[in-house]
Chain A
Amino acid sequence: MTRRLPAQAGEVINRSTPLSFKWDGGNLSAFEGDTIASALLANDKRIVSRSMKYHRPRGYLTADFWDPNGFVQVGDDPNVRSGHRLVENGMTIDPQNVWPSLDYDMKAANGLVGRFLTAGFYYKTFIKPQAMWPVYEKVLARFAPGGTVDLDTPHGYHDKRYAHPDVVVAGGGPAGMAAAISAASLGARVMLVEHEHALGGHLRWGNAEDRRLLDELRGKVEGAGVEILTNSTVTGRYEDNWTAIVQRSHPIAVERLIKARAKVLVVAPGLIERPYVFTGNDKPGVMLSGAVRRLINMYAVKPGERAVVFTGNADGDAAIVDLERVGVTVARVVDARQGENIVVAKGGAKALDSVELSDGSVIEADLLVTAVGWTAPTSLLNMAGDRPVYHAGSARFYPSAEIHNVLATGGIAGDGDADQLLAHAEATGRLAANRAAAVAHRVQDLTARALPVQGPEPTWPEDDRQSLPRDSHPALFRSTTHGIVDYSEDVDSKDLVAAAKEGYDSVELLKRYTTATMGPSQGKLETVNTVAVLAEARGETIQEVGTTVWRPPYAPITLGALGGRVFEPVRVSSIQSWHEANGATPILAGAWVRPDHYGDPAAEVTNTRTNVGIIDVTPLGKLDLQGPDVPKLLNHLYTNKWSQLPVGSVRYGIMCAEDGVVLDDGVTGRLSDNRYLMTTTSSGAATIWEWAENWLQTEHPDWQVHVTPVTSGFTSINVAGPKSRALVSRLVDNVDLGPDAFDYMQVRSGTVAGVPNCFMWRIGFTGELSFELHVPSGHGLHVWTALLEMGNDLGVKPFGLEAQRIMRLEKGHFIVGQDTDGLTKAPSLGMNGLIKLDKDDFAGKPELAWAMEQSLPSLVAIQTTDPAEVPTEASQIVRAGTNEILGRITSSRMSPTLDRSICLGQVLPEAAPAGTELTIVMIDGRRITARVMEHQAHFDPEGQRLRG
């Protein structure tokens, strides 16, 4: 560590804990507390990367999070900010974007290439021949900046949390700390968020007086009951103060995203020092005053031997004091306030060796420090709707307007001495606490439940902030020479001028054409200089040109932190543990996990058709309907009639949306005078509940109906097959299951396997004699296993969704969403008898009335000529010999029962009549023939088995 200084009063490194790490293949050492940047510089590693376009060697400019040159790869982590990331023992750090290598000197090539790699050069080249662009593209892609993603990177544990603080303070400098302390002293719940590893802001690299103030504020804030989050960033302010905070300092999580509904947000991010534009401003050895002060005072690193300091403000002056104190020769102070200027930084590619001044003198130096002013990071305020305004006297942007629940304080709001700054911050903290209390009061008031509002609305003194003075500052953006404006995008001020002349002369077009401000620091360093160069080119003021839009996030945020712990709810029935234990292959249907099959779906079909099978159909939507007006509701939701449904009966119906498109289907049974049970498709359950509530709450609030979902309350088991009655009767003793007593489409309630309050109805999707049992779910598994035990001699076997799909297709039953699509209207289903236009009103009635008069596509059963050919679902049906589409296959399977291929399809009316010969295009391109069947059911069209 050849550049390490003796102990400094404010240093943050721990010399008693040395660390070692790897850089670019070699071993280096550091101390605990070092950032990668300070460690590299302590080891005299001055070149850290190469620039994006011209591949010029780059060294540290700001040596903090925002350093445009300091991106490194740390293990599997790309684009790590080396000015911010702390060194850990054994870390492997590599430079990125270093083609051909970190040290190779490409001076000659740069000079040549640079002349025509002007802004927008891509757009003007590689135009012809067209075929060559993909080749160029591949070459260019190799030049992409940035690190490397290791595709095996583990996701890690990322946490999330909601919070409802009264006040969030973004920025833990003196202003943020003071605001937090005063807000908390008034009883506000405060979160103080600091991007850096410790509170303090500028004070951390300041002088003795700054350090004293820092200790004092830290002491107070730690005793104030404030939630302090360091190494955490407020990354965005969204609607209604929805505030995103990324916490990188959580004890167990890699990172945690905190989503805070701040009642008031205090923005105290300080200021970001701005680079100066002149020729050679990206040579290693050119640094900003903040960088130099941080390196010396926090990390005890000597940034150079012989310096030229170009200063326009007190920070530059303070840097001179620091430099001289640690033995750096300050060869020349160039004072902008005296009209002095620097013109060119000279030297080889790898380092600065001299600086040419405006008076013509050339001063030898290996360090050039500039202090030319600041960018106000107004980003969070702009996300709240504020537009920054330029103040020429102090040469920087300020927040423009007052936003009620977003307040700004500290350097971003103005200058002044420490007392003025703290006074402003404290007043801001008080105001924030006050406004937060008012918001809390209002929210409680709006929450119309019987919770007492705590006390009267607070009436504390309102705004007592004294606005901060704005110190005058020379307007320092560009010297008389051109230089880099956007370091990470390698955009030169010459490029900007040329682009403006070409007509890309509004700040937004200029940005997009040149990519200035589009890099990783998103304009935190570049915006003002970009705007200033454009203003100069256009002969306008900076205010007239305006800035580009700041957008979230304030600082880049990992996808891991955003993704967090993922909430993907899954639903299972009470029988799931049995399914898992018995080899079911699971399938996801919406949020439900269900058995697709237990090994051999075809065998499951055959067993069900010959013996008896049981299937877990719990996901079937179930709604309990009670009240005198249930028939009115049913009449409204379904297309058919419901007024006369007797108690004990079940009826099938179709529901349509107001545009006549099929929404859902299912059966509803009448359990008693005023109570019905409706079933819906599993995927339609939530929608139909809301749909029913919508009609009841908005169009027909006078109807007395209570709709309550009971899907999970009942474990639903369909017992199907010729031996189903035999099986069910072994478990049920208080219900007469005989064919005359309990007919098809009827419902009974009773006790099953000792479980009371079960419903059973005689319906089935499979086309077999079947009993659908709805068992209170706390006993669902018991009934399932009882069925298997009691039916062992009958050959009972479970079957899964796939077997059910096959059997329903054999029966020609359609599935909403598979055999229908987003435009299928009810008359396409071939069930016009279920559409009762003589009802006064029902959902979709007018459209259905018109649709009945049109010729719509029809759903028909189709069989291929060759029984072994099973067209893939969605295969197209065409007019023979052409590519003209006449329809498509919506469902297809090999039927184990019929031992042949069976299909359902939607076809145009001309192709719908029974017997029509169809041409189906198989997905491999072959064309096969098929025939439209007479009945939708391929199997047992008369429904004799069902009624058995």
Chain B
Amino acid sequence: MVDVLRFESPVTTIYPTGETEDLTLGDLSEITKQIVRADSKTAAAEQLAVTFGSSRIDGDVIVLGQRPDEFLLVGTPTATASLVEGLDRSGHVSVIDHTHSRAMFRLTGSNASATLEKLCSVDWSEPMTPNGAVVSASLAKVGCDIARLDRGPDRSYLIACDRSFAQYLFDAIIDAGNEFDIAVVALAPTLV
């Protein structure tokens, strides 16, 4: 019926894309997101090898410890699929594709944490959330999973939220970033 299925992003407002490198926000909602729930005793949890609150880069996939005994795998469809397929499913392990459930944004720049501070009560200072830290918290009153994954010298955050809130949250981040001249950038749905 259709040749190629296009992924419809939940962010539908078109913002002019900017030039500034200081603070940027991009939509990554299309990226594949798999949730693995595996109790700490299971082999799968051992394979995934991150604890709650931290993250690890595994080839083309980022593995986030987003909840106790719960992992979010983010990456290209093939890379995440191969990681999931390689998991030992013994014990109580479930896998749920969350690509369509969660929207994902990336906020990058020297004022990224100052922007988050306008929306979220978590402490984004270096010792509390060093590079690689993963935090679940509410952003502009929307529950989010936020990972700090710097890009070179720049602070950068991956922000995942329920798809239905995506447009609202995107707008709220733009509003918060206005005082820092935030610009919207187009991002390819790859990470690493």
Question: Using a CB–CB distance below 8 Å, which chain A residues touch chain B?
Answer: 159-164, 189, 251-253, 259, 261, 440, 443-444, 447-451, 454, 565, 567-574, 577, 591-592, 618, 624, 626-628, 675, 704, 706, 708-714, 731, 753-755, 757, 776-782, 786
B54 to chain A, nearest CB (A): 5
Segment 55-71 of B: residues with Cβ below 8 Å from A = 65
For chain B, residues 1 to 43, give those with C-beta under 8 angstroms from any C-beta of chain A.
Answer: 1-2, 5-10, 12, 29-30, 35, 37
B167 and A572 contacting across the interface, CB-CB below 8 Å: yes
The number of residue pairs between A and B whose CB atoms lie closer than 8 Å in the complex comes to 147
Question: B2–A782 contact, CB under 8 A?
Answer: yes
Contact B179 A259 (CB under 8 A): no
Q: Check B175–A710 contact: CB distance below 8 A.
A: no
6 chain-A/chain-B pairs, Cβ below 8 angstroms: A164-B128, A565-B176, A710-B96, A777-B100, A778-B9, A778-B30
Shortest distance between the CB of A568 and any CB in chain B (Å): 8
Complex formed: what's the CA distance from A456 to B51 in Å? 23
B68: min CB distance to chain A, Å: 9
B121: CB under 8 A from chain A? yes
Is there an interface contact between B172 and A443, defined as CB atoms closer than 8 Å?
A: no
Q: Which positions 79-120 of chain B face chain A at CB distance < 8 Å?
A: 92, 94, 96-102, 117-120
| A449: chain B residues within 8 A (beta carbon) | 51-54, 65, 133-134
Q: How far is the CA of A570 from the CA of B98 in the complex (A)?
A: 20
Asked if B164 CB lies within 8 Å of chain A CBs, one says yes
Cβ–Cβ contact A450 & B92, under 8 A = no
Residues of A close to B12: CB separation below 8 A:
577
Alpha-carbon separation in the docked complex, A162 to B92 (Å): 40
CA distance A161 to B117 in the complex (A): 6
Choose among B9, B29, B164 the residue with the greatest number of A CB atoms under 10 Å from its CB: B164
Between B6, B29, B168, the greatest number of chain A beta carbons within 10 A of the residue's beta carbon is seen for B168
Q: Are the C-beta atoms of A162 and B165 separated by less than 8 Å?
A: no
B150 within 8 A of A: no
User: Are the CB atoms of B7 and A447 closer together than 8 Å?
Assistant: no
Q: Establish whether residues A592 and B99, one from each chain, have CB atoms under 8 Å apart when the complex forms.
A: no
With A164-B123, A450-B54, A706-B94 already in contact, the answer to whether A778 and B2 are too (CB < 8 A) is no
B154 at the interface (CB under 8 A from A): no
**A567→B96 contact, CB < 8 A:** no
Residues of A within 8 A of B123 (CB): 164, 261
In the assembled complex, the CB of B162 is this many whole angstroms from the nearest CB of chain A, namely 5
Q: How far is the CA of A440 from the CA of B123 in the complex (A)?
A: 11
Question: Which of A251, A454, A577, A675 touches B127 (beta carbons < 8 Å)?
Answer: A454
Inter-subunit contact A571/B179 (CB<8 Å): no
Contact A450 B51 (CB under 8 A): yes
Distance A777 CA – B102 CA, assembled complex (angstroms)? 10
B8:A162 contact, CB within 8 angstroms: no
A627 B92 Cβ-Cβ under 8 A: yes
Report how far A202 CA is from B135 CA in the complex, Å: 45
Bound CA span A710–B95, Å: 13
Whether A777 contacts B6 by the Cβ 8 Å rule is no
Contact check, A574 vs B128: say whether CB atoms are below 8 A apart.
Answer: no
Count residues of B near A (Cβ-Cβ below 8 Å): 56
Q: Chain B: which residue is nearest A786 at the CB level?
A: B1
Which residues of the partner chain A approach B142 to less than 8 Å between Cβ atoms? 569
Knowing A449-B133, A704-B92, say if A162 contacts B10 (CB, 8 Å).
no
A754 touches B100 (CB 8 A): no
Per-position binary interface string of chain B over residues 123-161, scored 1 when its CB falls under 8 Å from any chain A CB and 0 otherwise: 101011110011000001110000000000000000000
Assuming A570-B168, A706-B92, A710-B98, what are 10 further A-B pairs, CB within 8 angstroms? A565-B176, A567-B119, A569-B141, A569-B168, A571-B165, A572-B167, A573-B164, A591-B165, A710-B96, A778-B8
A residues in contact with B29, CB < 8 Å: 778
Contacting pair A162 B53 (CB below 8 A): no
Given A449-B53, A451-B133, also A713-B117 (CB < 8 A):
no
Q: Across the interface, which residues of A come within 8 angstroms of B102, CB to CB?
A: 712-713
Closest to A707 in B: B37
Given contacts A451-B54, A627-B92, contact A713 B163 (CB under 8 A): yes
With beta carbons under 8 angstroms apart, the residue of A160, A440, A711, A782 that contacts B164 is A711
CA distance in complex: A782, B119 (Å): 33
Q: Is the CB of A618 within 8 A of B164?
A: yes
Nearest Cβ in chain B — how far from A780, in angstroms? 7
Shortest CB distance B118–A (Å) = 5
Q: Are B37 and A706 in contact (CB under 8 A)?
A: yes
What residues of A have a CB within 8 angstroms of the CB of B128 in the complex? Answer: 164, 443-444, 447, 451
Contact A161 B100 (CB under 8 A): no
- How many whole Å from A538's CB to the nearest CB in chain B? 47
Contact B94 A782 (CB under 8 A): no
The reply to whether B133 and A714 contact each other, CB–CB distance below 8 Å, is no
In the complex, what residues of B have CB within 8 A of residue A574's CB? 8, 10, 163
Tell me the nearest residue of chain B to A443, going by C-beta.
B128
User: Once the chains are docked, how many angstroms separate the CA of A164 from the CA of B175?
Assistant: 22
Contacts of B168 in A (CB 8 A): 569-571
Whether A778 pairs with B179 at a CB distance below 8 angstroms is no
What 6 pairs across the A-B complex have the smallest Cβ distances? Answer: A449-B53, A713-B101, A571-B164, A626-B94, A712-B163, A164-B123
CA distance A757 to B50 in the complex (A): 29
Query: Given contacts A162-B117, A712-B163, A778-B30, is CB(A447)–CB(B5) below 8 Å?
Result: no
Partner of B121, one of A259, A451, A618: A259
Which of B1, B92, B134, B140 is in CB contact (< 8 Å) with A567?
B140
Contacts of A451 in B (CB 8 A): 53-54, 128-130, 133
CA distance A586 to B5 in the complex (A): 29
Bound state CA distance, A252 and B7, in angstroms? 38
Interchain CB contact under 8 A, B164 and A778? no
Find out whether the CB atom of A164 lies under 8 angstroms from the CB atom of B35. no
Instruction: Give the chain B neighbours of A786 by CB distance below 8 A.
Output: 1
Q: Is the CB of B1 within 8 A of A753?
A: yes
Chain B nearest CB, measured from A404 CB (Å): 20
For A571, what are the chain B residues with a Cβ–Cβ distance below 8 Å?
Answer: 162, 164-165, 168
- Write the nearest CB–CB distance from B49 to chain A, whole angstroms: 11
Which residues of chain A are near B2, meaning CB under 8 Å? 753-754, 782
- Cβ A569 vs Cβ B140 within 8 A: yes
Residues on the B chain within 8 Å of A711, using CB? 101, 162, 164
Complex partner residue of A251 from B54, B140, B167, B179, CB under 8 angstroms:
B179
In the complex, how many angstroms separate the beta carbon of B155 from the nearest chain A beta carbon? 16
A159 to B94, CA, bound (A): 42
Name the distance in Å between B126's Cβ and chain A's nearest Cβ.
9
Contact status B8-A782, CB under 8 Å: yes
- List residues of chain B with CB within 8 A of the CB of A713: 97-98, 100-102, 163
B5 close to A781 (CB less than 8 A): no
CB distance from B71 to the nearest CB of A (A): 12
| Interface pair B8/A776, CB less than 8 Å apart | no
Q: A251-B179, A778-B30 are in contact. Are A161 and B118 (CB under 8 A)?
A: yes
Distance of A711 Cα from B65 Cα, bound (Å): 22
CB of A567 within 8 A of CB of B6, answer no
User: What residues of A have a CB within 8 angstroms of the CB of B130 in the complex?
Assistant: 451
CA distance A189 to B124 in the complex (A): 13
Alpha-carbon gap, A711 to B9, bound state (A): 16
| Chain B residues within an 8 Å CB radius of A163 | 117
Let me know if A569 and B165 touch, CB within 8 A.
yes
Which listed residue, B7, B10, B37, B100, touches A708 by the CB 8 Å rule?
A: B37
Asked whether A567 lies within 8 Å of B172 as measured between CB atoms, the reply is yes
Once A252-B179, A449-B52 are accepted as A-B contacts, the answer to whether A440 and B8 lie under 8 Å apart by CB is no
Q: A782 vs B100: C-alpha distance in the bound complex, in angstroms?
A: 14
Q: A360 CA to B168 CA in the complex, in Å? A: 75
